[in-house]
Amino acid sequence: MTTPTDAFIDALPKVELHVHLVGSASVATVLELARRHPGGPVPTTEEELRAFYAFRDFPHFAQVYGAVNALVREPEDVATLVLGLARDLSSQGARYAELQVTPYAHSIVGMPMREVTEALDLAARRSATDHGVEMAYIFDIPGEFGEEAAKITVMHALEEPPAALVGFGLGGIEQSRPRYRDAYRDAFAAARAAGLHSVPHGGEMTGPESVWEVIEGLGAERIGHGISCLQDPRLVAYLRERQLPLDVCPTSNVCTGQVARIEDHPLPRLLEEGLFVTLNSDDPPMFATTLAGEYRVAARVFGLGEPELARLARNGVHASFLAPERKQALLAEIDALTG
């Protein structure tokens, strides 16, 4: 049964700021790729694939993600994933997305940088014309792969960037990062000097120290997850004072074992502390969620009403790297819906 709140969420213009290319692949798309590239560990039936997506912890999630990532072997596969996400987001009232792409993963299977970029450019154009979703890209370093991954990611960003590249990120297993700290700092310095925005993950599976590092060492303008910031009152005060956005993904944090139950998620407290929060889906089919589904969680589990949901949507627009005139147009759409 559709409630008035459901109808409001469906109609609410949204942006998606934290979603990964491979993690955005629908079950149907993954099955298509698994059948196209057989012989790997990824199941080829829907029932088995859904069981494959039952994660024990974050390392297990990373292992599964890597297996699916290995199915993306040709530029056409890259374009297929982008367009699939645009189609899915369009059906949820989304107008814009900043999609996290991992060039290192494409490099190690032999895809030339130029061909990956051409696929991303083509997909961005078709996302807009076919689905009405403006697509931007963030190139991210997989944190557990060290100096080589950092080198390849920044090289691709500087030498063969897609036209819609707006940001530079760092993801993966946070516990692996300290040993490569200097390489990541150097890569981010080069990317920022080239005009790219800094949007690393931090505070997802480690404590506040990883949030401080992405702020002080990587110049973060927006932080992926950041939920462990609540363990450090000084950090909370810093984030509140500067209104540094946190891209929060509640269902993801439960599915990867960072939070025991959705009811325990710190989203309400982040809001109570006056922090700047955006709502996102991360790897939606892998976590059996959607962007609209995260808004439903915020309403049903945490009791957020229409004004609070609209505020989260506005936060996403403000925190995005859209051109100012596009931001104003989207904010006007939200205002028109909320009266």
The catalytic residue positions are 204
Among the listed residues 246, 172, 180, 179, the one whose alpha carbon sits nearest the alpha carbon of residue 208 = 246
Give me the half-sphere count of Cα atoms (radius 13 Å) on the Cβ side of residue 325.
Answer: 0
- SS3 sequence of 95-162: EEEEEEECHHHHHCCCCCHHHHHHHHHHHHHHHHHHHCCEEEEEEEEEHHHHHHHHHHHHHHHHHCCC
Count of residues making up the chain? 339
Kind plus residue range of the DSSP H or E element containing 27: helix 27-36
**Would the CA dihedral through 169, 172, 178, 180 be positive or negative?**
negative
Which residues does residue 165 pair with via DSSP β-bridges, in sequence order?
137
Kind plus residue range of the DSSP H or E element containing 4: helix 4-11
